[in-house]
């Protein structure tokens, strides 16, 4: 099939104005936050599950790769059209269909931006906890594809913990429904959880039923500076042992603090080599007691300074320190490899020391920050790829990082997914029998391998990437 013929068939489904094979649109939808680029053949903007069902049926019949795309903000290449084909952009499907205050449920389409839903439910005194850093532009469909997390995971969990049900278009074009509106539902296989985190390889989510919570009455934010990362990590475990579960427990290691200091004035003691940002939420009457108890628990663990926000502006100033880390990394080098490993909380200091050793071994700067409450470390390898041999050093460093992570009982991905970037390392964590089971599920649901092919599974020997699948029009 040539491109013009495909465009005409797709236009008959969604309208000519919602299909494009122009160079501009193909380039616009050819990359994500990895900055890798793979050109699709056609870009389509559907408006309903029915349209998507017809498009997928056509793609399956013609064996054309197809992949869903939201904001394209992922860090692992999940939305890259590595085999060309049809990119299905879901941003037209951006309606909040229902907010049910009696049953604490929201029903939404996949193109709804995460922060927009949060604002709408909070106006009604409700709360949708998952808060990825990209929440101001990432879509809920993308959050579900990657099982997104965020700082509040330590207390509230990740995206999958709030998905009650889904409407999904399968790789053969069927429309199925998983889960439902009830909190309890044990009828049949748990297909809802199967699709959450599947990175668009098993189907396309077209409607989402989400669980909501009552909005916490208040929150209190603290910044605690430590003389060592060991003290900060021990503080995290001590807080949890003290039967207090903060809403967030964020950390910055010495390398992150040094980056921020180079980029802008940072009012922290020079003896500070690690920072925890701790936030508790809930009933106003309880917060002062919780904050005081936390500071009492952690005081013997090398604390060099504490700040407790008394106002919303002071809380924002504390969070500004954390948000300033990513922009400051460019003071080190122009190229960033952003990985999100996770280890058991108690092994964070061991992992940080291993990262320092890997940095010294290969001569590559590594900056670490992230969600200490759940052991999720954002590892940033900062290099200049113009230097001879640097790409090889980066690959060796990443291999050692992932190997050490798994050896410490952790995972190569906490919230960014696998995509293409981590596919070569997945076998470090999953044994052959487990991978074979996953492949069997993929084969059963997608026998022609059209749904976001080339993702998650280790790449096959000699398999090219970023290849066209549709012949250009004459």
> What residues have CB less than 8 Å from 100, skipping those under 6 apart?
106, 107, 181
Q: What's the chain's average pLDDT?
A: 94
135 pLDDT tier (thresholds 50, 70, 90)? very high
What pLDDT shows up at residue 462? 61
Q: In what helix (H) or strand (E) does residue 120 lie, and over which residues does it extend?
A: helix 114-122
Phi, psi of 125 (to 5 degrees): 80, 20
Q: Tokens for 153? A: 């995971």
> What residues have CB less than 8 Å from 286, skipping those under 6 apart?
none
Cα dihedral 262, 263, 264, 270, rounded to 10, equals -30
Percent of the chain with pLDDT strictly greater than 70 = 97
SS3 32: coil
Tell me: the pLDDT tens digits for 381-434?
999 999 999 999 999 999 999 999 999 999 999 999 999 999 999 999 999 999
267 pLDDT tier (thresholds 50, 70, 90)? confident
The yes-or-no verdict on residue 1 having pLDDT over 70 is no
| Among 146, 163, 18, residue whose Cα is nearest residue 91 | 18
The yes-or-no verdict on residue 34 having pLDDT over 90 is no
The yes-or-no verdict on residue 112 having pLDDT over 90 is yes
CA atoms in the 13 A half-sphere facing the CB of 106: 27
Quote the CA–CA distance of 139 and 123 in Å, as a whole number: 20
Quote the CA–CA distance of 392 and 24 in Å, as a whole number: 33
Quote the CA–CA distance of 235 and 287 in Å, as a whole number: 19
| Among 331, 343, 407, residue whose Cα is nearest residue 373 | 343
Tell me: the pLDDT tens digits for 337-390?
999 999 998 899 899 999 999 999 999 999 999 999 999 999 999 999 999 999
Tell me, letter by letter, the H, E, C secondary structure of 255-302.
HHHHHHHHHCCCCCCCCCCEEEEEEEEECHHHHHHHHHHHHHHHHHHC
Cα 441 from chain centre: 23
Q: Tokens for 132? A: 């990825």
| Among 265, 374, 282, residue whose Cα is nearest residue 320 | 265
pTM of the model: 0.93
Q: Tokens for 194? A: 């199967």
472 pLDDT tier (thresholds 50, 70, 90)? low
What pLDDT shows up at residue 220? 96
Cα dihedral 453, 459, 463, 469, rounded to 10, equals 10
Tell me: the pLDDT tens digits for 207-230?
999 999 999 999 999 999 999 999
263 pLDDT tier (thresholds 50, 70, 90)? confident
33 pLDDT tier (thresholds 50, 70, 90)? confident
Residue 6's alpha-carbon distances to 24, 43, 470, in angstroms, are: 18, 11, 8
Q: Tokens for 257? A: 């603090």
Quote the CA–CA distance of 67 and 221 in Å, as a whole number: 40
| Among 294, 278, 304, residue whose Cα is nearest residue 225 | 304
What pLDDT shows up at residue 331? 84
What pLDDT shows up at residue 80? 95
SS3 41: coil
The yes-or-no verdict on residue 125 having pLDDT over 70 is yes
């Amino acid at each position: 099939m040539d491109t013009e013929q495909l465009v005409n068939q797709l236009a008959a489904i969604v309208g000519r104005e919602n299909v494009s094979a122009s160079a501009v649109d193909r380039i616009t939808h050819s990359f994500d936050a990895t900055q890798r680029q793979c050109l699709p053949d056609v870009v389509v903007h559907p408006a309903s599950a029915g349209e998507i069902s017809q498009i997928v049926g056509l793609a399956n019949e013609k064996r054309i790769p197809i992949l869903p795309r939201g904001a394209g903000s992922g860090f692992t290449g999940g939305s890259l059209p590595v085999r060309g084909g049809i990119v299905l952009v879901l941003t037209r499907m951006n309606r909040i269909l229902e907010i049910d205050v009696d049953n604490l449920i929201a029903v939404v389409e996949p193109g709804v931006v995460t922060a927009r839903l949060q604002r709408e439910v909070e106006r009604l005194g409700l709360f949708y906890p998952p808060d990825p850093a990209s929440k101001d532009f990432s879509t809920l469909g993308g959050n579900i594809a990657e099982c997104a997390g965020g700082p509040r995971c330590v207390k509230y969990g990740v995206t999958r913990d709030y998905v009650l049900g889904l409407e999904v278009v399968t790789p053969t074009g069927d429309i199925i429904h998983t889960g439902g509106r009830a909190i309890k539902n044990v009828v049949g296989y748990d297909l809802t959880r199967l699709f959450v985190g599947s990175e668009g390889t098993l189907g396309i989510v077209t409607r989402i039923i989400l669980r909501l919570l009552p909005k916490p009455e208040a929150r209190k934010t603290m910044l605690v500076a430590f003389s060592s990362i060991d003290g900060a990590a021990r503080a995290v475990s001590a807080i949890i042992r003290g039967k207090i579960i903060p809403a967030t427990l964020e950390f910055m290691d010495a390398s992150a603090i040094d980056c921020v200091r180079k980029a802008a004035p940072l009012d922290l003691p020079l003896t500070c080599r690690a920072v925890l940002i701790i936030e508790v939420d809930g009933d106003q009457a309880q917060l002062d007691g919780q904050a005081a108890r936390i500071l009492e628990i952690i005081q013997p663990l090398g604390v060099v300074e504490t700040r407790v926000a008394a106002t919303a502006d002071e809380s924002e100033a504390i969070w500004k320190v954390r948000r300033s880390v990513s922009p400051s990394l460019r003071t080190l080098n122009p190229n960033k490899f952003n990985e999100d490993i996770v280890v058991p909380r108690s092994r964070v200091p061991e992992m940080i020391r291993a990262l320092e050793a890997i940095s010294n071994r290969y001569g590559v700067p590594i900056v670490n920050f992230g969600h200490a409450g759940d052991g999720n470390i954002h590892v940033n390898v900062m290099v200049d790829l113009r230097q001879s041999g640097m790409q090889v050093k980066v690959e060796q460093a990443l291999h050692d990082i992932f190997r050490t992570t798994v050896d410490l009982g952790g995972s190569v991905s906490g919230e960014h997914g696998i995509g293409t970037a981590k596919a070569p390392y997945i076998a470090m964590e999953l044994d052959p029998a487990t991978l074979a089971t996953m492949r069997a599920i993929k084969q059963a649901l997608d026998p022609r391998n059209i749904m976001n092919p080339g993702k998650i599974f280790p790449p096959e020997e000699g398999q090219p990437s970023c290849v066209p699948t549709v012949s250009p029009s004459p």
